[in-house]
Every structure is written in C-alpha cells, then in structure tokens.
C-alpha cells in the first residue's frame, strides 16, 4: 500500500536523542579535561616567567645562583648553537635515510631492518642517548670530554629516528602516479626523486623536521652528561663545557634560591616561546606552500 501522507521530519524526542546528547556531552567534557592541565601549565609558565623576561634576560650573562636579576644569554646561545648543530647532522642523514627506505629499499631485507631500528629508537629514553654519547665520546677524552658538540650529538641521536619516520610518512603521501609521469618522460629515478617527489613532499617534511627541532631544543637528559653544565658563555661548540636553557632549568630550579628559581622560570618561558614559534612556522609553511593542495 503506497502512503500518500507527507512524512513527519521533525526531530524526535526519546531515548535515542538522550543517548546522543549524553555522548556528545561526554566528548566535550573529555576535551575540556584534557585542556585544563595544558592551559594551566601555560598560564603558570607565563605568570612565573614573564616577570623576568626581557631583552637583557636573553642576552646578559648568567649571574651566580645566589644573586637575583636577569641573565640567560649563554644558555640561549647554547641552546641555539647545539640545536643547530644537531639539526645539521640529523636532518640530512634522516631525510636521505628515509628516501632510501621508501624509494629504494622498500620491502627489502636491509630496509626492513633499518626501519625496525628507527622505530625502536624513537622510543629509547633520551637519557640513554646522553649516556651513549657520554660513554663513547666524553669518557675517552678524559678531562676534555664535555663540549657543546657532544651535547649536539646526543640531541642528534634523538632527532634522527623522528626525522626518518616523519619523512618516510611524507614520502608515502606523494602519489605514485607522479613518479610514473616523471619516469615516463625519460627521467631517471634519482632525478625523479629530486625534482618531483621531494618538492611535493617538502612542506610535510619541513613540518616534521621543525617539530623534531623544537623537541630537541627542550631536551635536558641528553645534555646532563655531555655538556658539563656551566654558566659562563662559550661560543665554541667543540671545546669546553657549555650550557643550554633546559640544562639551566635543571641546575637552577631546585636550589631554593629565589634569584635562581626566577631565572629558571624565565628559561622555561623562553623554551615554550621557542617551541611555539617553531611549531607555528611549521604550520604556516605547510599551509602556504603545499603543492599537493589544489590551487584555489
């Protein structure tokens, strides 16, 4: 029998609607709960660090622990230099390693083994990286072992598996038909990778790389036994102990001295701002330069 009445399309009240609303409410509540500690953390860091944040804080030498006043210059320089050196070592190696894994090795034996180890390394605690460099580099050099370069190596070990993993994921996202189109024009495999695959994957790779950089900038454990935390400025990465923002937080925060504590919070705020800036740049790069995005 064919119905000739117009169906009732209004929302129906009842048990199903109630369950739907409860579920939606639960999701919203969960999200709010997750945000609370995050927001609380950021507010605390900003509140405690803002007081001492200033240009002189970022540039002056570190006063001795008992004294108050701004000054984290050597640590800022140390963080920037060491993270820069670590990036210089880890990024090219990581990107090329990922290219090998995805474009050449694929499912072969060597590639599978390398991929497995890279995956495992992403989970190795950062202090182990520091210990590794301490044992093979710092110790053999007896008194001269501590240096910014040793710290960079430890940070590099930390960054490398992350760069490999995220680059490989980005390479997977480049569709095969682009590679085919290039090869069909008589381009070699290496040239295809250089002129088609990498440019297409570059925004995603940059994003992953910058996130690895942001993480390395804030790591403390790898630096504990490698840089021999000092307070004096040292622009030479290869000679003499050095310091970094994260290391300064470590050495200052629990001393119970107000000046040191305040500077530790300032250092924490600096790191948070640094991480924020790097992440922000990464997202802008992806959004603006992604060639796989359809032209508007």
Q: Give me the residues that bind other proteins (CB under 8 A), please.
A: 175, 177-178, 180-188, 191, 195-196, 199-200, 291-292, 294-295
Q: How far apart are CA 122 and CA 106, in angstroms?
A: 20
Q: Quick one: 130 or 204, whose CB is closer to other proteins? A: 204
Q: Quick one: 283 or 293, whose CB is closer to other proteins? A: 293
Q: Quick one: 180 or 287, whose CB is closer to other proteins? A: 180
How many beta carbons lie within 10 A of that of residue 287, not counting itself? 11
Token representation of residue 138: 């710092």
Q: How far is the CB of 211 from other proteins (least distance, A)?
A: 23
Q: How far apart are CA 165 and CA 200, in angstroms?
A: 17
String of b and e for 92-117 (b: at least 16 CB within 10 Å)?
A: eebbebbbbbbbebeeeeeeeebbee
Q: Quick one: 198 or 269, whose CB is closer to other proteins? A: 198
Q: Quick one: 109 or 294, whose CB is closer to other proteins? A: 294
Residue located via tokens 């030479």? 236
Separation in Å, CA 89 to CA 32, 149, 276: 40, 11, 23
Q: Quick one: 129 or 200, whose CB is closer to other proteins? A: 200
Q: How far is the CB of 205 from other proteins (least distance, A)?
A: 15
Q: How far apart are CA 294 and CA 3, in angstroms?
A: 46
Pair 158, 131: CB distance under 8 Å = no
In terms of Cα–Cα distance, which of 19, 236, 269, 17 is closest to 146? Answer: 236
Largest Cα span, the chain: 96
Q: How far is the CB of 105 from other proteins (least distance, A)?
A: 12
Q: How far is the CB of 183 from other proteins (least distance, A)?
A: 6
Q: How far is the CB of 101 from other proteins (least distance, A)?
A: 16
Q: Quick one: 166 or 192, whose CB is closer to other proteins? A: 192
3-state per-residue secondary structure call for 31-62? HHHHHHHHHHHHHHHHHHHHCCCCHHHHHCCC
Q: How far is the CB of 115 from other proteins (least distance, A)?
A: 18
Q: How far is the CB of 109 from other proteins (least distance, A)?
A: 14
């Amino acid at each position: 029998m064919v119905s000739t009445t117009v169906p009732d399309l209004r929302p129906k009240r009842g048990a199903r609607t109630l369950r739907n609303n409860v579920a939606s409410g639960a999701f919203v509540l969960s999200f709010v709960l997750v945000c609370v500690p995050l927001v609380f953390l950021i507010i605390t860091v900003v509140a405690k660090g803002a007081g001492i944040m200033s240009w002189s804080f970022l540039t002056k030498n570190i006063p001795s622990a008992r004294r108050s006043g701004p000054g984290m210059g050597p640590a800022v320089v140390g963080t920037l230099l060491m993270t820069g050196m670590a990036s210089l070592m880890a990024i090219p190696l990581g990107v090329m390693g990922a290219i090998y894994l995805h474009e050449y090795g694929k499912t072969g034996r060597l590639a599978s083994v390398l991929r497995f180890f890279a995956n495992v390394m992403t989970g190795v605690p950062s202090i182990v990286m520091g210990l590794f460099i301490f044992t093979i580099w710092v110790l053999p050099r007896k008194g001269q072992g501590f240096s910014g370069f040793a710290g960079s190596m430890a940070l590099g070990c930390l960054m490398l598996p992350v760069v490999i993993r995220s680059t490989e994921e980005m390479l997977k996202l480049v569709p095969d038909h682009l590679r085919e189109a290039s090869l069909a024009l008589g381009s070699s495999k290496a040239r295809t990778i250089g002129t088609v695959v990498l440019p297409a994957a570059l925004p995603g790779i940059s994003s992953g790389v910058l996130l690895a950089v942001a993480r390395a900038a804030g790591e403390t454990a790898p630096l504990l036994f490698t840089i021999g935390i000092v307070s004096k400025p040292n622009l030479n990465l290869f000679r003499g102990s050095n310091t970094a923002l994260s290391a300064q937080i470590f050495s200052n925060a629990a001393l119970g001295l107000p000046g040191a504590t305040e500077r530790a919070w300032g250092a924490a705020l600096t790191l948070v701002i640094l991480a924020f800036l790097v992440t922000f740049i990464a997202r802008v790069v992806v959004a603006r330069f992604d060639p796989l995005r359809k032209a508007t």
